[in-house]
């Protein structure tokens, strides 16, 4: 009986761990910025009750560049231009499974937009 219980426990643990990816938020993952914007890799991952954008290549590797919260079908928060050391209001919106539209705005009228590609 102990062997059956142990096998059941191990199987349950494997199913539980593999199930975490199925519930990941669609915005989570590794994303590549356009080449004309440096082509850096950006990782979006859960951080507390939000999603943090962390640079994963280039000059600012390892630095957090943004933080967003889900608001319906988009994500709102702040994005930082690390080179200029300026933070803007921002939004992220999925454009299919492998494209993400990022916008950083000043006064919500002067916006710079990029489309990131899932890696």
Q: What is the pTM of this model?
A: 0.77
CATH code of the region 26-118 = 2.40.128.20
pLDDT for residue 5: 45
- CA 14 to chain CA centroid, Å, is 25
Nearest to 115 by CA among 98, 105, 103, 101: 101
Domain residue ranges in the chain: 26-118
Across the range 86-97, mean pLDDT stands at: 96
- CA 25 to chain CA centroid, Å, is 9
Q: Which residue has the tokens 């494209």?
A: 99
Which tops the pLDDT comparison, 10 or 97? 97
Residue 87 clears pLDDT 50, i.e. is over it? yes
Model confidence at 2, in pLDDT bands (50, 70, 90)? Answer: low
Angle at 29 between CA 87 and CA 44, to 5 degrees: 20
Q: Residues of the chain with pLDDT > 90: what percent?
A: 71
């Amino acid at each position: 009986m102990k062997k059956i219980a142990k096998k059941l426990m191990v199987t349950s643990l494997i199913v539980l761990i593999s199930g975490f990816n199925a519930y990941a938020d669609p915005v989570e993952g590794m994303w590549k910025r356009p080449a004309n914007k440096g082509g850096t890799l950006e990782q979006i991952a859960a951080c507390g009750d939000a999603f943090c954008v962390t640079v994963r290549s280039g000059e600012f590797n390892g630095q957090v560049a943004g933080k967003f919260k889900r608001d319906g079908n988009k994500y709102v928060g702040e994005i930082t231009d690390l080179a200029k050391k300026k933070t803007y209001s921002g939004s992220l919106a999925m454009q299919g499974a492998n494209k993400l539209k990022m916008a950083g705005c000043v006064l919500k009228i002067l916006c710079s937009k990029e489309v990131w590609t899932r890696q």
